Amino acid sequence: MPKISEATVAEHRARQLRTLLDAARALVAEEGIEALSLAELARRVGLSRPSLYEYFRSKDDLVAAIVEAELPRWASLVEEALQGPGDLEGKVGAYIRVQLGVMTDGRHAAAVALAEHALAEPALERIRTGHAQLLRPLVAALEEAGVAGAELRAELIQGMVDAAARLAQRAPGDAEAIVAATLAQATRGLRQAP
């Protein structure tokens, strides 16, 4: 029987999972998405591949687990940011700023990059479900302000945020200008909403 490093098997498995996810994020950050494989992760953490398969059935399962692990904290940051401002423009601005901040910080950059990687449908569905949580506070703010088609408009704003994050990653020195342009575009569109 393998040795466990915690008081219970469940605690050991939870700690091992955190270690695996941290190592996978580091691998992506250091070497890129293409370097991520179950074999490389097993080598990096000193586990056998069969042991790793107890945690992840495939690379897609690993990618989905990395993204899912980040989503609760990410969703909490989004919710907190939208509770501050009172007006719609302030809420949209807070959403854009926190999303871009999270998407371009080192901790979440791997999750963002991995979520955009080609994945099988089951893994994509897990990620989509998690991302829907991120939009809920924005949809609620848009509905509260009486914006028609709040879900569609939230998705469009998120599309602008996604594009802005890619630009900010390529040109980190322009991050504030990118945030300002994204905010201006989003709020201008909301003011002109039918």
Tracing tokens 């700023």 back to the chain, one arrives at 97
CATH 1.10.357.10 in the chain, residue ranges: 64-191
Which tokens in the block code for residue 41? Answer: 């992760």
Pick the CATH number of 64-191 from 1.25.40.10, 1.10.357.10, 3.50.50.60, 3.10.20.520: 1.10.357.10
Judging by beta carbons within 10 Å of its beta carbon (0-12, 13-18, 19+), is residue 78 exposed, middle or buried? Answer: buried
Contacts of 166 (CB under 8 A, 6+ apart): none
Which tokens in the block code for residue 179? Answer: 């945030």
Could you list the pLDDT tens digit for every one of the 194 residues in the chain?
Answer: 456 666 787 888 889 999 999 999 888 878 877 888 999 999 999 999 888 999 999 888 888 888 888 888 888 999 999 998 788 889 999 999 998 888 877 666 666 666 666 667 777 787 778 778 889 999 999 999 999 999 999 999 999 998 998 888 788 788 889 989 999 999 887 776 65
* Distance, CA of 49 to CA of 121 (rounded, Å): 24
Which tokens in the block code for residue 1? Answer: 């029987």
* Distance, CA of 16 to CA of 32 (rounded, Å): 23
Pick the CATH number of 1-56 from 1.10.10.60, 3.90.1010.10, 1.10.10.10, 3.40.30.10: 1.10.10.60
CA 191 centroid distance within chain: 28
Q: What's the pTM value of the predicted model, to 2 decimals?
A: 0.76
CATH 1.10.10.60 in the chain, residue ranges: 1-56
Amino acid sitting at position 3: K
